[in-house]
Structure formats: structure tokens, C-alpha cells
Amino acid sequence: MLDLTVIPASGIALPAAPFRARHLIDGAWLDSADGAVSERISPSHGVVVSRAAKGGKAEAEAAIAAARRAFDDARWSGLSGKARAAVLLKTADLIEANVERMALIETLESGKPITQARGEISGAADLWRYAASLARTLHGDSHNSLGQDMLAVVLKEPIGVVSIITPWNFPFWILSQKLPFALAAGCTCVVKPSELTPSTTAILGELLAEAGLPAGVVNIVLGYGQPVGATLSSDPRVDMVTFTGSTAVGRGIAAAASATLKKVALELGGKNPQVIFPDADLESAADAVVFGVYFNVGQCCNSGSRILVHEDISEAFTARVVELSRQVAFGDPLDPATQVGAIVTPEHGAKIDGYVLAARKAGAKVELGGSSLAVPGLGHQFYQPTVVSRVTPDMAIAREEVFGPVLTVLTFRSLDEALALVNDADYGLSAGVWSENVHTCLAFARGAQAGTVWTNTWMDGFPEVTFGGVKQSGLGREIGRYGLDEFMEIKSLVMRIGRTRAPWVRPR
Ligand code: NAD
């Protein structure tokens, strides 16, 4: 048996009854017309955590119609930035007041550790506050150098009705990267959370009503990609779809949206490299590598799932990463000591295992872990912290998103070779470099094809600093000022001062 740090069942009390989640359409909480419901069973505890209304096309269309009416009568976009900001700020306060309730249910639905769920939800409150500041400072441009008789202004207007489709790995954080920014812009929305993690989105609906958001401005439809997500992506009354999830589904959404040429924003997968040079602070780098790959059980778009280590230090560095990986506490997500929780579904666990098995068969070496493991008192839906070395760039484990606690180790000899390996990828979400030489870091940052580059750190993020991917990691940007701009249309207004224009038609 491997020497790993396993946290057994803590015996912490579970909720007395499953959370009951309903659709929020035009201010009313509704079950599906046909009464369909889906149950979410906790991946860690095996109990039913939530019973959610399972929407169909009818619910999706009713929600879109409500959002369309709410946009067209300007009940939200017609308010001042100050009034919109007040609702967003109140929502942030309410999120903070509900952290414990939401963190518990998110932990049980997703399998993530409770400390990470708490951090995600309280951190999301800050996104709402930052978006409130944007609602008040939103402005366009003016042009007064076009000649004495001309003045032009560029206005920013809300794009309209926005469909928001979110995944299960950070259900509340990802929603909060989108929704407050869309609301700050003056848009109205229809939100569809993942069928696996519907509850914190539904709770947010309650908080928005309490914060004074007018009915119909945010509508929530629970259910699956087909038919709910597909309807939200294709309905002509929707002006924009913003989606976070897998690259395959993102491609389908872009295709569905193309019939009516809606704007599409996509935050998709990644295969994010951290590159370690011999002159780096290797102890900090090893710790960041371990954090980067095991955070959120590796089910993270920003997972640092492949490291490129300079050949001179690869053996010693890998050994240190393995040693630290053994100390990562995995097991009961409800125990505050746990750092790595459960895998979201058994099917996903099998997919992770498939990548490791294929790599082993192709000649890679599993240095640590490499299979699922039962946690005493909780069952089998856990995957051991896993490190795979002797990986070659052509292996699937080096190129595809494993989305689990599995680290892939490759080696390089020069900066040019490292950059070539980094950029030899379909994805381009994030990349990192570890070196004490500023020239190495800057050359890497300039050359890496990625939406975010970290130097001597990993996964630090701020509401002010925009986020997004290049290549097949996505389209558009979230958070920061650019995140707000995604939800705006630009209108140019050109004005003549006085009657100075010479007539086009010359009298004969
Ligand atoms: P997924 O693509 O399976 O599902 C995401 C959402 O899309 C869910 O709500 C799902 O119900 C919905 N959906 C499914 N089929 C649909 C369809 N045909 N039309 C419309 N909607 C549909 O993704 P997931 O498994 O929930 O999440 C994991 C993926 O998300 C990973 O690939 C990960 O990298 C990615 N992700 C990306 C970021 C980022 O910011 N770049 C962040 C988190 C997760």
C-alpha cells in the first residue's frame, strides 16, 4: 500500500434533507410542467444532496421570454449605474452571510473540500463588489478633434439578453465571473447551471430577489445540456451566450449560435504547463506544482497538469514533487484538514484512470498513485494524487485535459525547446515559468501562447485582472474591465454642430 495522507470519514453531520431546487422564471419559483426532477448524489458521501426540477424546452423558452421582456422594457438597463451597483453590493453582502450554507451544499454536490468551497463562495462576493464598481464607472469615448463642426461619442450599451451556461467544477465562482458583470452592463440573463451542481445557483436566485433585483432580470432554468442548454444557445431572442465548460460542448454552442449570429464567449479547457529552470527557487516551485495539479482534485481548467523540467534537475525535482504529493491530505471533503476531495462522477473517475493506464502502456512511469482508492467510511470515488514521468509529448496524457489529480512530467534542455513544447498544444489557457533570471521569465512570457502567464507563482487571480484563453481554450475575456466590455455593444454617435455641411445635391 502506498504511503499517502488519507483523511477518513469525519462523521460531520449532513443536511437533514436534500435541498429542493426550482426554476426561477419571471420572479416565480417553479417546478417543471411535467414534474420531472433530477437527484444529485454526493460523490463523497453517497447521499442525495439535492432534488432539482429538470427543465425542458418549455421552461427554457419561458425563461428567455421573461428575460427578453425585462430587457425590452428597460426595467434594469434604464436604472442608473448607481442603482444597479446598489443591488450588486447588497448581493455581495448576502453571499457573505450565506457562505456556510452554500459551501456545505457545494461540497456535497461537487466533492471539493469544504475549505475550498468556503474560499470560492466568499471570494465570489468580491467579484460582485468589483462588478458594482464597474457599473458606476462605465463610460465610452468622446472625439472632439474631428473639426470645429463635428463632435462624436462612442456609447457602450448593454448587449441585451444573455444566456449563461456553467460547469460543475466551480459552480458559484464561474457564475460570479459572468453574472455580476452582465448585470453591471445592464443585461438581463437566463442561467443554466450544470445538472450536477444546481443548488448554489438556485440559492443565488433567492439572494438576488432579497437584494431587490427586479423580477425577470435573472432567470434560472435547471436541467441538462439537451434540451435546456441547446435552447439557450439557439433561441433568436437571445443576444449572447457565455459558456464555461468543455471544448467539445463549446464548439457545439458556437455552431448553434451561428444561425442567428449571436455573440459567443467561451471559457474552455486547458493543458497548462509550468516550466522549471534549474536556477529557480525549486522548493517554492515544487510546492506550487503540487498545489497547481491537486487543487479542486485537478478538476480545474487552470490545472497545472503538465510540468516541463530542465533535464539537469528533472530527477531530483520529480522526487521532491512525489514526496510533497504524499503529504497532500485527500479524503473526506467535509473535514477542514482535507486538501483533495472526491471525483465528480464514477464515469469521470474511469476517464482519468484510462489516461494513466494508456500512458503506462506507452512506456511512462507512474511514480505515485495511478488508481482510485477507497477512503475509509466513504467509498471508492476518490483518485490518488498521481505523478507520471517519462512522458513523451505525443502521449494523450501530455496533450489532452485529464481533469483529475494527475501530474505529467516532461523534460527540456533550452528555453526554445521549452517554448516549442508549451506551444505544441491545441489549448492556450495559462502557462507558468520558474526562474530567478528576469530575462528567462520575460522571454518565456512573450513567447508562450496563453491567455495568462504566471512567473514564479501559479493561479493567482484578481477581479481586476482579466482572464481567458487563446487557441481552443476559448473566445473572449472574463472579469476585469475587458470582462465588462464583453457584455456591451458599441454605438457610435456622430453629431454636426450648426448647418455647416455643403449639400450633396447641387442645384442644376
Ligand atoms: P461540459 O461541457 O460537459 O458542461 C458544461 C455545461 O454545458 C453544463 O451546464 C452542461 O449541462 C452544458 N451543456 C452540455 N451539453 C450542452 C449543449 N449541447 N448545449 C448547451 N449546453 C450544454 O463541462 P463540465 O464537464 O461541466 O466542465 C468541465 C469542463 O469545463 C472542462 O473541460 C474544463 O476545462 C472546463 N472549464 C473551463 C474553465 C475556463 O474558465 N476556461 C473553467 C472551468 C471549467
Verify that 413 and 355 share a domain, yes or no.
yes
* Residue 214, phi then psi, degrees to nearest 5: -60, 145
Which tens digit of pLDDT belongs to each residue from 162-196? 999 999 999 999 999 999 999 999 999 999 999 99
Nearest protein Cα to ligand 1, atom 42: 301
Compute the mean pLDDT over every residue in the chain, rounded to the nearest whole number. Answer: 97
Verify that 233 and 98 share a domain, yes or no.
yes
The whole-number pLDDT of residue 1 equals: 44
Which tens digit of pLDDT belongs to each residue from 448-484? 999 999 999 999 999 999 999 999 999 999 999 999 9
Which of 174, 222, 249 has the most ligand 1 atoms within 8 A of CB, as the residue to mutate? Answer: 249
Verify that 227 and 78 share a domain, yes or no.
yes
Nearest to 243 by CA among 140, 148, 129, 165: 165
How far apart are the C-alpha atoms of 95 and 176, rounded to whole Å?
11
Answer yes or no: is 462 within a domain: no
Matching residue, cell 432567470: 219
Which tens digit of pLDDT belongs to each residue from 52-62? 999 999 999 99
Catalytic residue among 187, 189, 300, 301: 301
Catalytic residue among 120, 195, 267, 367: 267
Residue 301 alpha carbon, nearest atom of ligand 1: 34
How far apart are the C-alpha atoms of 424 and 419, rounded to whole Å?
8
Nearest protein Cα to ligand 1, atom 17: 225
pLDDT-derived band of residue 44, with 50, 70 and 90 as boundaries?
Answer: very high
Verify that 256 and 280 share a domain, yes or no.
no
Domain of residue 385 covers: 273-455
249 CA to centre of ligand 1 in angstroms: 6
Answer yes or no: is 411 within a domain: yes
Which of 222, 246, 479 has the most ligand 1 atoms within 8 A of CB, as the residue to mutate? Answer: 246
Q: How many domains does the chain have?
A: 2
Verify that 251 and 313 share a domain, yes or no.
no
306 CA to centre of ligand 1 in angstroms: 21
Q: What is the CATH number of the domain that holds 56?
A: 3.40.605.10
Which tens digit of pLDDT belongs to each residue from 368-405? 999 998 999 998 899 999 999 999 999 999 999 999 99
Answer yes or no: is 508 within a domain: no
Which residues sit with their C-beta closer than 6 Å to ligand 1?
Answer: 165-170, 174, 192, 194-195, 224-226, 229-230, 233, 244-246, 249, 252-253, 267-270, 301, 401, 403, 429, 469, 474
pLDDT at 3 over 80: no
Q: What is the CATH number of the domain that holds 347?
A: 3.40.309.10
The whole-number pLDDT of residue 166 equals: 98
Verify that 118 and 261 share a domain, yes or no.
yes
- pTM value surpassing 0.75: yes
Verify that 239 and 304 share a domain, yes or no.
no
Nearest to 433 by CA among 310, 315, 313, 318: 310
Whether 189 is catalytic: no
Whether 202 and 21 have beta carbons less than 8 Å apart is answered as: yes
Whether 301 is catalytic: yes
Verify that 141 and 211 share a domain, yes or no.
yes
pLDDT-derived band of residue 2, with 50, 70 and 90 as boundaries?
Answer: low
How far apart are the C-alpha atoms of 45 and 11, rounded to whole Å?
10
Nearest protein Cα to ligand 1, atom 43: 301
